[in-house]
């Protein structure tokens, strides 16, 4: 649709009469603009014309023996005409437009991504001190100044950026990794195991394997020696690189009181609401929002926003107080909780490179305590780089074949 037609408006007309073609001809001869003329049925024609011309078309059509019906009015004048008759929608529309324009230059929501060790509360406080806070203006904000200010206040952060999505600030953070003291690349070293088990496979990428499949190893034993071998025996010390897969057997036990109680919902709850406007709030309830004894407090905040487009400084907070009471826990439920805790502990130990092959469970009660034991067979990938000592380096040189002069 052409912009001028939207601004000036147009009307959709339906003319019924003896000769529709003659009516269109008369309109053209008199210089009246129209478009999208079509005959939906016999002795009828539909067309579109500018709003300022549709009264004139009605008079001409009546003179030619046509009955004219205005089926719709479109464009900006038609919208304004409706708003003049209905002032409340017009006021609400103007107020919404003002709020959107006013709030676009301010921050009404802050989303933080990438934090693990740095608490969100400390990061929000540092951002507020650097000018990124609820209600603050983001127009003219210096990314470098905010980044440098936050990093100076929180040394655990090595990089961050703030991007605006409407009135929502998206804070992306990268934390400093804990410094490790790796073995220098040029230092001679062995690869040893930190687990006990049976060797399933050895993968020496550099160095010489000192164990093979089926060998039993204890923590600290060498898997890959820090020396290279060739056609004529030991050639010299190297920094060993590689790993080994072990079959390991792990026994984990957890205990808890056989008879215990825990807090659970009693089915009673109370819900209150509050309206948040910027950094102000209006409570629709009496008293305080402090959680009474024996209750849990659940807060949910819904903002008036269109994600990625705009965020208005208006939010509805729903607070639910759920009553909790002590309920006896059955031994079966307690056993399931202990089993889940043992599996989580085993998963932490295995990490990304290990896997559980088989598991056996046992449980018993003793002196009012419930014990659960997990006996697991696992396959773990091991390999720790340990620098060669002077004695180890001397032993390697002793293995090098001596040449006869």
What's the CATH superfamily of 3-80? ACT domain (3.30.70.260)
Residue 185 scores a pLDDT above 60? no
* Residues 110-124: tens digit of each pLDDT: 889 988 888 988 999
DSSP 285-353: SSS--SPPTTEEEEEEEEEEEETTTEEEEEEEEEEEEEEEEEEEEPHHHHHHHHHHHHHHHHHHHHTTT
Q: Of 6-10, 107-111, 246-250, 326-330, which gets the smallest average pLDDT?
A: 326-330
pLDDT value of position 78: 77
DSSP 233-296: EEEEE-B-EEEEEEEEEEEEEEEEESSEEEEEEEEEEEEEEEEEETTEEEESSSS--SPPTTEE
pLDDT value of position 36: 86
Query: Quick one: pLDDT band at residue 372, thresholds 50, 70, 90?
Result: very high
Q: What angle do CA 232, 233, 236 make, to 5 degrees?
A: 115
Q: What is the mean pLDDT of residues 277-304?
A: 78
pLDDT value of position 333: 80
What does the mean pLDDT of the chain come to?
Answer: 84
pLDDT value of position 83: 66
Residue 198 scores a pLDDT above 90? yes
pLDDT value of position 373: 94
Task: Give the position of tokens 């127009």.
Answer: 139
Of the spans 191-200, 309-318, 393-402, which averages the highest pLDDT?
A: 191-200
Q: What is the mean pLDDT of residues 30-48?
A: 86
Check if 3-80 and 109-175 are the same fold: no
- For residue 97, what is the DSSP state? H
CATH class of the domain defined by 109-175? alpha beta
Q: Report if pTM > 0.75.
A: no
Q: What is the mean pLDDT of residues 234-262?
A: 87
Q: What is the mean pLDDT of residues 321-340?
A: 81
Query: Quick one: pLDDT band at residue 165, thresholds 50, 70, 90?
Result: confident
Q: What is the mean pLDDT of residues 173-188?
A: 72
Q: Answer whether 337's CB lies under 8 Å from 331's CB.
A: no
- Run of H or E residues at 108: none
Angle of helix 20-29 relative to helix 54-63, nearest 10 degrees? 130
Alpha-carbon distance of 115 to 123, in angstroms, equals 9
Q: What is the mean pLDDT of residues 308-313?
A: 68
| In the chain, domain spans | 3-80, 109-175, 189-246+384-399, 260-329
Residue 299 scores a pLDDT above 70? yes
High-pLDDT (> 70) share of the chain, %: 93
* Residues 74-86: tens digit of each pLDDT: 887 777 776 666 6
Residue 402 scores a pLDDT above 70? no
* Residues 224-243: tens digit of each pLDDT: 988 888 777 777 788 889 99
Q: Answer whether 353's CB lies under 8 Å from 380's CB.
A: yes
Q: Answer whether 104's CB lies under 8 Å from 167's CB.
A: yes
Q: Which residues contact 80 (CB under 8 A, 6 or more apart)?
A: none
């Amino acid at each position: 649709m052409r912009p001028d037609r939207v601004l000036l408006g147009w009307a959709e007309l339906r003319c019924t009469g003896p000769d529709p073609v003659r009516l269109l001809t008369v309109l053209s001869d008199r210089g009246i603009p129209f478009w999208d003329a079509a005959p939906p049925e016999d002795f009828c024609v539909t067309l579109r014309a500018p709003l300022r011309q549709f009264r004139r078309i009605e008079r001409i059509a009546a003179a030619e023996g046509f009955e004219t019906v205005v089926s719709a009015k479109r464009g900006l004048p038609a919208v304004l005409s409706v708003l003049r008759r209905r002032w409340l929608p017009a006021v609400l529309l103007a107020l919404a437009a003002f709020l959107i324009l006013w709030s676009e230059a301010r921050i009404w929501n802050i989303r933080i991504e990438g934090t693990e060790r740095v608490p969100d509360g400390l990061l929000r406080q540092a951002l507020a001190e650097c000018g990124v806070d609820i209600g603050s203006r983001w127009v003219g904000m210096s990314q470098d100044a905010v980044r440098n200010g936050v990093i100076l206040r929180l040394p655990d952060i090595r990089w961050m950026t703030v991007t605006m999505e409407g009135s929502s600030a998206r804070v992306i953070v990268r934390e400093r990794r804990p410094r490790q003291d790796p073995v220098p690349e040029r230092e001679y070293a062995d690869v040893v195991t930190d687990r006990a088990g049976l060797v399933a496979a050895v993968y020496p990428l550099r160095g010489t394997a000192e164990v093979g499949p089926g060998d039993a190893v204890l923590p600290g034993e060498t898997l890959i020696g820090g020396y290279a071998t060739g056609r004529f025996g030991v050639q010299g010390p190297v920094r060993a690189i590689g790993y080994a897969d072990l079959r390991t057997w792990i026994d984990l036990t957890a205990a808890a009181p056989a008879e215990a109680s825990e807090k659970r919902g009693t089915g009673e709850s109370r819900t209150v609401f509050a309206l948040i406007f910027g950094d102000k709030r209006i409570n629709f309830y009496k008293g305080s929002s402090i959680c009474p004894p024996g209750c849990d407090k659940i807060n949910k905040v819904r903002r008036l926003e269109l994600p990625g487009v705009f965020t208005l400084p208006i939010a509805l907070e729903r607070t639910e107080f759920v009553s909790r009471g002590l309920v006896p826990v059955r031994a079966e439920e307690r056993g399931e909780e202990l089993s889940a805790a043992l599996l989580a502990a085993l998963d932490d130990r295995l990490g990304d490179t290990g896997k559980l092959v088989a598991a056996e469970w046992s449980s018993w009660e003793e002196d009012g305590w419930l014990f659960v034991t997990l006996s697991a067979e696992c396959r773990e990938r091991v390999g720790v780089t340990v620098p060669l000592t002077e004695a180890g380096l001397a032993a390697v040189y002793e293995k090098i074949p001596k040449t006869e002069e």
